[in-house]
Amino acid sequence: MSLLSDLSERVPGRAHGPGASEYDAGRTVFAGVGEPDAVVRPHTVDEVAAAVGLAAAAGMPIAVRSGGHGLLPVDGGLVVDLAEFTAIEVDATGLVTVGGGAHWGDVAAVLGPHGLGVSSGDTRDVGVGGLALGGGVGWLVREQGLAIDALREVELVTAAGEVLTLSETSHPELFWAVRGGGGNFGVATRFVFQAIPADGLVGGLVRFDRSDVPAVLRAWRDVMRAGPDELNSSLMLLPPFGPEMPGGPQLGVALKGDESRLHELLAPLLALPSVVEVSLAPVAYSELLEDAPPGRPPFLFVGGNGFVPDLSDAALDAVAAAYAREVPTMVLLRALGGAFSRVAPDATAIPHRDAEALLIVNGVLAADASPEQLAAVKAGSDAALAFTSGTYGNFSAEYGPEVTASMYPPATLERLRRIKRQVDPGNVFRRNHNIAPAD
């Protein structure tokens, strides 16, 4: 008997193989299309447990699909597609219960009329499951921390087919692990987050030309260091995309407050001679989220990301140098600090709480670039990444033990590995930034 036929008996009508539209939907993620043995699209938690229990007992690897914006298409094994787990409900205290397959844009749309929001990401289509289990950096990070910092409860189906409710008081070690440990510990079918007031926002864009990038970087750092938690921003350094789009620094910013206060806080940036456009206005939290591009562009992105503990002049100069090189280079700096930094490093599995910013730097090369070109561009990106202290897994399209080791300091990784041994000793949930069970 095959996995598909066994599943069809165990969860009738929910198991899908090649040729079925549910199979195609389940095997497709942002980064590409995989070839799993089967896709199961359960409608209930009991069906998730039955499918997971069956595949795990057979030693089959299990991948989970929530919003499908992951960076790893999978071949072989089972994909559990949570497309039916999209219910979202908010109560009078601002606790919002979200199905494990919902998208963040839908969460924002439900919370908006209540004047609420939950710290999440910047993009509507990204799934609650992958983003929240991996950390979750977005527009409210300085006010509420990461998405995992707003998390109060998770319903998890383990490799043994058990359905557990995790919180600070129920399976607290496992609750700690799923807040940053990704999809390593089971299938999260339901999340409960604490929402916060997110109305009265003003935000938008400030664009600069490329004439003095170091000055923009320094002014941005100083503005964010002096600014309140309610001020959130990211600074992108964009390469030119043809004559119509010359590239340059682009600030995305949001403040809980009014327009004059935002101008006051941004004054050192707005006074720079390289400013070419200021577009700031009242905005709803849900409008701050953007639609994702249709898929991964067909280029090689050579670089990586990391948490930056100190945006020193030397760190900013390295960023400016990486951006100034001949190969088109994209940089993103997301301001952290604020509530993000007030969470104890050992309170969740994301320990890099001293970080001032998250840095992504990538040289963009054609898919047929030579090994020499790749090596040269990697060296340039690495010079900027040398100022970082740990990788943010959700932004890393690379997998393997060395990537996992760069995401967690040794003590955090050991704790995660011990929990993994208890809950998934056969490592069936390994289609991710894998945490191998402790020996």
Ligand X SMILES: Cc1cc2nc3c(=O)[nH]c(=O)nc-3n(C[C@H](O)[C@H](O)[C@H](O)COP(=O)(O)OP(=O)(O)OC[C@H]3O[C@@H](n4cnc5c(N)ncnc54)[C@H](O)[C@@H]3O)c2cc1C
Say whether residue 365 binds ligand X (CB under 6 A): no
Instruction: For the CB of residue 65, give the shortest distance to ligand X in the complex, in Å.
Output: 4
By beta-carbon proximity to ligand X, the closer residue of 288 and 365 is 288
Residue type, 110: V
Binds ligand X by CB under 6 A, chosen from 61, 77, 94, 130: 130
Residue type, 239: P
CA angle centred on 292, ends 288 and 294, rounded to 5°: 160
Say whether residue 388 binds ligand X (CB under 6 A): no
Binds ligand X by CB under 6 A, chosen from 102, 126, 407, 413: 126
**DSSP label at residue 230:** T
By beta-carbon proximity to ligand X, the closer residue of 156 and 322 is 156
> Cα–chain-centroid distance for residue 309?
19
- Give the contact letters, 166-195, x = binds to ligand X (CB under 6 A), - = no: ----------------xx---xx-------
Say whether residue 129 binds ligand X (CB under 6 A): yes
Say whether residue 68 binds ligand X (CB under 6 A): yes
- Give the contact letters, 315-354, x = binds to ligand X (CB under 6 A), - = no: ----------------------------------------
Strand 196-197 with 248-256, pairing? unpaired
Helix, strand, coil % over all residues of the chain, rounded to 5 = 35, 25, 40
Residue type, 306: G
Say whether residue 306 binds ligand X (CB under 6 A): no
Cα torsion 99, 100, 106, 111: sign: positive
Binds ligand X by CB under 6 A, chosen from 90, 108, 118, 137: 137
Cα–Cα distance measured from residue 263 to residue 241, given in angstroms and rounded to the nearest whole number: 29
Stretch that binds ligand X, among 116-124, 163-171, 222-230, 347-355 (CB under 6 A): 116-124
Stretch that binds ligand X, among 133-141, 164-172, 335-343, 412-420 (CB under 6 A): 133-141
Question: Using an 8 Å Cβ cutoff, are 82 and 129 in contact?
Answer: yes
Total of chain residues touching ligand X, rule CB under 6 A: 37
CA angle centred on 117, ends 107 and 351, rounded to 5°: 100
431: buried, middle or exposed (CB in 10 Å: 19+, 13-18, 0-12)?
Answer: buried
Residue 238's beta-bridge partner residues? Answer: 248
Binds ligand X by CB under 6 A, chosen from 61, 67, 105, 306: 67
Task: Pick out residues in 245-264 that bind ligand X (CB under 6 A).
Answer: none
Say whether residue 432 binds ligand X (CB under 6 A): yes
User: Residue 159 — φ and ψ, nearest 5°?
Assistant: -60, -25
Radius of gyration of the chain (CA): 22
Binds ligand X by CB under 6 A, chosen from 4, 6, 30, 217: 30
> Cα–chain-centroid distance for residue 416?
19
- Residue ranges binding ligand X (CB under 6 A): 29-30, 63-72, 82, 100, 121-123, 126-127, 129-131, 133-138, 182-183, 187-188, 292, 394-395, 431-432
